[in-house]
Amino acid sequence: MAFFKLTDEQLMIQSMVREFSRKVVAATAAERDKSKEFPAENLKQMGELGLMGMMVPVEYGGEGADTISYVLALSEIAYSCASTAVVMSVHNSIVCESILNFGSEAQKKRFLPRMTDAEIIGAFALTEPHAGSDPVSQLTTAVKDGDHYVINGTKRFITTGKNCGLVIVTAKTDEAEKHRGISAFIVEKGTPGLIVGNVEDKMGLRASDTTDLIFEDCRVPAENLLGREGDGFKIAMKGLDGGRIGIAAQSVGVAQAALDNAVKYAKGRDQFGQKISKFQGIRWYIADMATEIEAARQLMFSAAAMKDRGEKYTQQASMAKLFASEMVNRITGKCLQIHGGYGFTKDYVIERLYRDARVFTIYEGTSEIQRVVISNNILKDKRKH
């Protein structure tokens, strides 16, 4: 971390979260992976520690921390449990930030204090069964009816869809428009017409529920419109920019955990009369992996620093997400290889890390979409896919 010199406050936050993560979060991570139990108690304690509203100003109950501090904390949570980290990431990076950036003063005062102490957890509903990488093609609609909007449609693959207290949902309010015809709404759990659908049985991140959310004549007060009509696409894209920095942080945390476990195993495993850490092939694996993790970390810091300075960071966020998510898949694969047959069993944490890492190249914009975003920004044009 030579390029980014961390402040004393940032180092203190990192140290505090590291201790909490490795003592508390790690203790039940393997069991939650088996049982698919939502980490509610962890999140409650994280709210008490200020981790569920890190970048929210103090006046709304948050910590007012910078993005560098946030990604340091998120990486430490991901090191122990990626399921807990993804809930923290969506809640902070997308939901809290979207309300902070686009919400009315009344919305900020109403929702943010309850979110920062983890009384309610936030979810973000953009993806649909036939609209994943192409959100403009979404079919969910919101029709104005007096002082309410009536929302109809189905959202898919919603992180914390079952356990959230509120969800930001996008819907078409003007069928004639594309980007400008999409609006965003804050919908509280328990609102009539909001139905939790299928809960996915996933390969990884098993303690983080991923569900369908179904809206059937769901009446939402007009005061819950986030921003103005037509702002939904802009809100979603800005939220995803921040979310992609969060995924880079998760990737760095999981990759560091994988490397640390592989190093420990290699230094303890005897073959051919010596520790396997003495073999050149293993040592080169370790050198390459450490280098890749550091490169991803610096990309993460660069995007976070640009965000903190108020600069446009879309391209840098996509670069960090692209490289880090691809990196963690390479790293966990190599670390499992170092473990040999033992890595293929649930007796070793690398098996869980390997499964958890796989989705990082997919959600909040696939690697292919990141390349589209990056190339669009470099070439200053857009092409039809």
Q: What is the mean pLDDT of each run of 10 residues along the chain (385 residues)?
A: 79 98 98 97 97 97 97 98 98 98 98 97 96 91 97 98 98 82 97 96 98 98 97 96 97 98 97 96 98 98 97 97 98 98 96 98 96 94 64
User: Which amino acid, one-letter code, is at 162?
Assistant: K
Question: Does the domain formed by 123-233 have CATH 3.40.50.300?
Answer: no
**pLDDT the model gives residue 384:** 60
Distance CA 262, CA 277 (A): 10
Pick among 3.40.50.2300, 3.40.50.170, 3.30.360.10, 1.10.540.10: CATH of 8-120: 1.10.540.10
Maximum alpha-carbon separation in the chain: 79
Structure tokens at 213: 């959310």
Catalytic residue among 128, 292, 364, 368: 364
> How far separated are the first and last CA of the chain, in Å rounded?
38
Is-contact 95 85, C-beta < 8 A? no
What class, spelled out in words, does domain 239-379 have in CATH?
mainly alpha
Domains in the chain: boundaries = 8-120, 123-233, 239-379
CA atoms within 13 A on the CB side of 4: 23
Q: Which residue's structure tokens are 């909490």? A: 20
User: Which amino acid, one-letter code, is at 324?
Assistant: A
In order, the DSSP letters of 75-99 are: HHHHHH-HHHHHHHHIIIIIIIHHH
Verify whether residue 200 is a known catalytic residue. no
Distance CA 377, CA 197 (A): 37
User: Which amino acid, one-letter code, is at 348?
Assistant: Y
**pLDDT the model gives residue 385:** 53
Predicted TM-score of the model (pTM): 0.95
In order, the DSSP letters of 183-246 are: EEEEEETT-TTEEEEEEP--SS-TTS-EEEEEEEEEEEEGGGEESSTT-HHHHHHHHHHHHHHH
